[in-house]
Structure 1
């Protein structure tokens, strides 16, 4: 199949087909979608080598996450890759293992091989991200840096819902087990939970920083028990699962003695016993939206284009790890 076959089948000029693949911002969305659908049906694949020589672009994108083993990330990665493929791009995925030095090195390495980078929950300081983002199109997920486009999940709303849920169950003393240092999500949770607790007239103890892992939750168990809190909000589902394990080892039962809320709504939380009450995060939509923003940024390079910020909704999923307040675990 050739580009002329696609143009004839789609009822457009050959130049329109070319722009749909190489400069989609110049084509109406409905026209672009029709051209891409026809191309897929006919099995047409553009010559990427020739296109790279013409446009100076690789049609490759980078996607960097802090821990690929965390079940929060695979749905986001899968959605990002699938959407990029539809748009004629490929995605290189890299994992920093929660190491800020590795994160900066990966950005610098990928910058030589890709047209732009999606940086998910970065741990680098804002000024470092801004400097690196000045050399290459960036889109951030769950981080705000002036001058860079971002896709945010409404963590603040989720933390507020978690506090209100626990307060409604009669818990007058809560603990927030925060995440790692440098986490935008953890900072947002802390601010929103603090406001919500004050509005509800209940006490909130903030514990952290903590590793965003099951082991991090286990290690936080003793500190949680020392607070005497009967309701706990964990940084993510992994921390919540580790906390439940640590409490069980001390014969403190969830939710009889302590109620626990996670964040992310991962498969691990749904399979855990008790099944985890959690804040559902829109991971797959975030992956698609971030790639869409990045491609638009790449394809409008050299033109004046304002940065974009999109906030995606979160919700509370109530399961078995929360219940009405009982005797204090402390």
Structure 2
């Protein structure tokens, strides 16, 4: 006969309710007790009935995860870590892609709200008011966006932008450009404010170019503007934009880093394989996925009594081949 929840309770020396809570809300169970229950369940071959549990607890043990563009290499490490972390807590994750469309994003949140216990919203394109309205119907945690009264995981891109500008300054660059991302992007706004302030403090000029699509094609399209700007050092919205920019500059006979230095943001695999290998601001995507799951499960467990939490994760500069001192005598 198949093992029952009562068998697991007897084997682990706890009440049936503790076994139930171990599988439905593991973060509420003492780690030592949780491990003992899970070990007993494994030994007995016990598997909880998810349908029955949902009827009893009112929870699905499913989470939604919505990203702006699943084809962007920035998102897979975040998705993978979130799924693995959720699975350790006996939750499944449904992943959805908005293709950078705020209307699709809103529709997906409304649809998933009927099927999951909470939603992770990564790099949202919706405005804050729309997100606040949707959060009234389903627990939401946002990644890389600050929304009043909501839990969020932020990657400190402002710090990263300052590091990038300081690196270019140390190399001797005195005219810089920032190739921004989509209008309304929190990340783009943070980068712009931080880079502009650091450039002002150093007494140099920063040219703002954008908005731009957050893709390789967006970087290609920005290459002509960068060439005309006279900048010798460029910070791009993300690595995909930087890779496209390098390609576009090359098509115009501009060498990277010989004529112009380029820095990206994210530290995705294609940037490490690009030629030249891309100097970039590394974003803690895997840590963000795990942290976002933790915050969402806290919100789900607390219900209406949930207290918003904010986690800010550190970024760092990775120097590779796409940055160098400016050409002597200025760029021709």
Matches for 1:143-182 after TM superposition, within 5 Å: 143-182=145-184
Pair 1:76–1:318, CA change in 2 (3 A):
same
TM-fit CA distance, 1:18? 1.2
- The partner residue of 2:215 within 213, 216, 219 is 213
**Structure 1 residue corresponding to 2:106, chosen from 91, 95, 104:** 104
Count of aligned positions: 329
Match of 2:307 in 1: 306
* Worse overlay, 172-181 or 24-33: 24-33
The residue that corresponds to 2:46 in the other structure is 44
- Secondary structure (helix, strand or coil) at the match of 2:303 reads coil
Q: Which moved more, 1:196-205 or 1:233-242?
A: 196-205
> Which ranges of 4 or more aligned residues in structure 1 deviate by more than 6 Å?
none
Q: Whole-Å Cα distance in 1 between the matches of residues 38 and 276 of structure 2?
A: 46
TM-score by length of structure 2 reads 0.95
C-alpha offsets along residues 115-170 of structure 1, whole Å, 9 cap, x if unaligned?
11000000111100100011110000000111110000000100000000010000
CA contact (8 A) 1:231 1:260 kept: yes
CA contact under 8 A between 1:22 and 1:299: conserved in structure 2?
Answer: no
Contact 2:152–2:292, Cα closer than 8 Å, also in 1: yes
Over 3 Å counting, the alpha-carbon distance change for 1:39 and 1:163 in structure 2 is farther
SS of the residue 1:80 aligns to: helix
Partner SS, residue 124 of structure 2: coil
Give a deviation string over 1:285-329, Cα, whole Å, max 9, x none.
Answer: 101111111111112214x23100000010000000001111544
Q: Deviations over 1:36-84 (max 9, x none)?
A: 4554565432110100100111111110000000000000001111111
Match of 1:294 in 2: 296
**1:46–1:329: structure 2 CA closer, same or farther, 3 Å change rule?**
farther
Tell me by how many angstroms 1:93 deviates: 0.6
In the TM superposition, what are the counterparts of 1:274-289 in structure 2 within 5 Å? Answer: 274-289=276-291
**CA separation of 1:113/1:257 partners in 2, compared to 1, >3 Å: closer, same or farther?**
same
Question: How many angstroms apart in 1 are the aligned matches of 2:201 and 2:157?
Answer: 18
1:201 CA displacement? 2.0
2:254 is matched with 252
**1:325 aligned partner:** 326
Q: Is the 8 A contact 1:194 1:204 kept in 2?
A: yes
What are the ranges of 5 or more consecutive residues in structure 1 without an aligned counterpart? none
Q: Structure 2: how far apart are the matches of 1:2 and 1:164?
A: 61
TM-score, normalization: structure 1?
A: 0.95
Change (3 A) 1:215 1:112: same
Provide closer, same or farther for how the CA distance between residues 275 and 41 of structure 1 changes in structure 2, counting only shifts above 3 A. Answer: farther
Q: CA deviation at 1:114?
A: 1.0
Greater shift after overlay, 32-41 or 305-314?
Answer: 32-41
Verify the 8 A CA contact 1:225 1:329 in the aligned structure 2: no
